[in-house]
Chain A
Amino acid sequence: DIQLTQSPSFLSASVGDRVTITCRASQGISSYLAWYQQKPGKAPKLLIYAASTLQSGVPSRFSGSGSGTEFTLTISSLQPEDFATYYCQQLNSYPTFGQGTKLEIK
């Protein structure tokens, strides 16, 4: 199985901050990576697919980059509704998820 390691696991930030979350794969996955946002008690929501393509309806302050084994999700200016847990997922082989990054208000 391909392992995904997200860093950091916890992140404290303020409204307006720029934040970056990293996802590293245990082997190359080309650009078969997606990012999801999950709020408490809710289903995950797709933000980005193919490593860098914004899903329809997702605000442009979210962006993704990377290929191969290292990927990043960046939120350019945090809004109050962005405080949530973020997961990366690889789809190159049998899917796996990263362990999650909880983004909290400072």
Chain B
Amino acid sequence: QVQLVQSGSELKKPGASVKVSCKASGYTFTSYAMNWVRQAPGQGLEWMGWINTNTGNPTYAQGFTGRFVFSLDTSVSTAYLQISSLKAEDTAVYYCARVNDYIWGSYDYWGQGTLVTVSS
């Protein structure tokens, strides 16, 4: 069965970096793009962007350029989100989500989420 398993919660100080992983299983990793979605505490869902798992080409939403980097390791079917120069406002749950073009680009599988807490 399809699964997206994310890395565990992180507690970081302002200015540090964090790398969140999303390991896919149960399907051909390079056949489906991967999106990243942020959810700040008590807030709604915010699309961060996506990465083409065939080419590795990332696309970032407005507000997620510069400090945010999407990457892949296709040998282990894993997508990564790296955030540098962390700020308190980066505190959120970060989700990876598989895009399924067969269902109009909807996100049919999601990781369980990774809580990143930025605090001094």
Contacts and interface: CB of A to CB of B under 8 A. Distances in A.
The A interface is mostly helix, strand or loop, or mixed, namely: loop
Interface string A19-60: 000000000000110101010001111100110010100000
Given A49-B104, A50-B104, A95-B35, A43 B111 contact: yes
Interface residues of A, number: 25
B108 A46 contact: yes
Given A46-B106, A91-B104, A91-B105, A97 B46 contact: yes
Interface of A: 1, 31-32, 34, 36, 38, 42-46, 49-50, 53, 55, 87, 89, 91, 94-100
Closest 4 pairs between A and B when the two form their complex, measured CB to CB: A43-B110, A49-B106, A91-B105, A34-B106
